[in-house]
Amino acid sequence: MALPQRSHLAKHWNLDPECVFLNHGSFGATPVKIREEQQKWNDLLEDEPVRFYEDLAMGFMEDARNALAEMLHCNADDLALVENATSGVNTVLRSLKFHQGDEILVPDHAYQACRNAIDFVAQRWGATVVTVNIPFPIESPQVVLDTVMAGVSKRTVLAMIDTVTSPTGLRMPFEQLVEQLEAKGVAVLLDAAHGIGMVPLSLDALGASYTTSNCHKWICAPKGSAFLHVRNDLQHLIHPLTISHGMTFPLGDTTRFRHEFDWTGTRDLSAACSIPATIDYVGNMVEGGWPAIMQHNHDVVIEGRNIICERLGIEAPCPDDMIACIATLELPEGEDTGIPLHEPDPLHKVLQDKYGIQVPVWSWESPKGRYIRISAQLYNHVDEYHYLADALATEFDIEQYQERIA
Ligand SMILES: Cc1ncc(COP(=O)(O)O)c(C=O)c1O
């Protein structure tokens, strides 16, 4: 099969021309100009390292936080720049104190690395992890709300909620969840790894206790750029994973939170420094800026999902409004591949080796199934989903598949 075309905006990226890249969701992809921008920051650093770290870095970090704050509708001082969402989640969980019997609530669709962090911390403090099972396929956001809220007890102190779930690609009704959970005194740790650039975020209005999001996914910033937002009244509770000079540095006119997070040892700041240029550059690729980009990617992924569903003769597992820019479908032999999450699914390899398609395929324990997840970013074209649908139709006995899921 001839490789499908990409969109006219793919010229901004340097993606492998032999690859049909339908997995923006895992690690993002950074435009060429932004990779050059990052190199400029590296050059500036290495031209005079002492000047960079001692005189300039704080100002650049402030610029990055200001650019993020404008997009996130929040106070720049409530943001800390971290390397990735996993670090953001760990920063919160490992700062907080729990009591024996406290309950930490988490849906079964949570990202495994973050779930691991919850289990680690719960074990350390003698807290209980309460897992709520959200069905998939699912009929409406109300099912999520009802299921999560039914898991709350008098002992629930924290809930980790995704903006968009990783294995099932569900856009959670996180705004309502945050409102209802926080109103009950349950602090929400919002895992918005798929957040900024994928779904509109107004953090002050949202009111979540803690929010972390990757910049290297949906705004296409360089790898290792993410933020943690901590609500102002909770900042005294949260410390970086790495304790450094900030703990004792004279306060001056700033906060301990700022001091502690602004210096966590010598590290590569080039990705974080590239955030303002990224927001500006990618945001200007489409008329209408970021809201238009999010809508465009949503529309493309819905179209892609429809193309595959139609080709395989299956129903979409959730309504369109529970999708942002990634979409998951269940595959044949969903229940009995027996392949653990960390082992590659043979279909992933077939799609990659035989068709040149990069798309995740995995088995998930709960909700149990074998899933494929497509992404849509500005460089994608609907032809790519037709191509994937043809490949899937070739690899599966469609009639048998349809009988199984009927
Ligand atoms: C929901 C969710 N949380 C956390 C992460 C972790 O992101 P990172 O590896 O950048 O820390 C991911 C990555 O895909 C994710 O999907």
Q: Is the CB of 193 under 6 A from ligand 1?
A: yes
- List the domain boundaries for the chain: 8-22+288-405, 34-282
Confirm if 160 and 114 have CB atoms less than 8 A apart: yes
- Strand runs (DSSP E) across 23-155, as ranges? 79-82, 103-107, 128-132
Confirm if 370 and 381 have CB atoms less than 8 A apart: no
Structure letter (DSSP) for residue 108? T
Mutate to test the pocket of ligand 1, among 23, 30, 83, 84 (most ligand atoms within 8 A of CB): 84
Q: How confident is the model at residue 344 (pLDDT cuts 50, 70, 90)?
A: confident
The structural architecture, per CATH, of the domain 34-282 is: 3-Layer(aba) Sandwich (3.40)
- Tell me if residue 164 falls in helix, strand or coil: strand
Q: How high is the mean pLDDT of the chain? A: 95
Q: Please state whether 288 falls in left (phi above 0), alpha (psi between -120 and 50) or beta.
A: left
Residue 85 pLDDT > 60: yes
DSSP for 260-280, written as a single string: HHH-SSS---HHHHTHHHHHH
The candidate with the shortest Cα–Cα distance to 149, out of 122, 190, 182, 114, is: 182
Residues 63 and 60: their CA atoms lie apart, in Å, by 5
**In CATH terms, are 8-22+288-405 and 34-282 the same topology?**
no
Cα of 25 vs centre of ligand 1, distance in Å, is 9
Cα of 115 vs centre of ligand 1, distance in Å, is 11
CATH of 8-22+288-405 among 2.30.110.10, 3.90.1150.10, 3.40.50.300, 3.20.20.120 = 3.90.1150.10
CA distances from 235 to 261, 317, 396 (A): 11, 39, 52
pLDDT digits (tens, 9 = 90+) for 150-190: 999 999 999 999 999 999 999 999 999 999 999 999 999 99
pLDDT of residue 255: 94
| pTM of the entire predicted model | 0.96
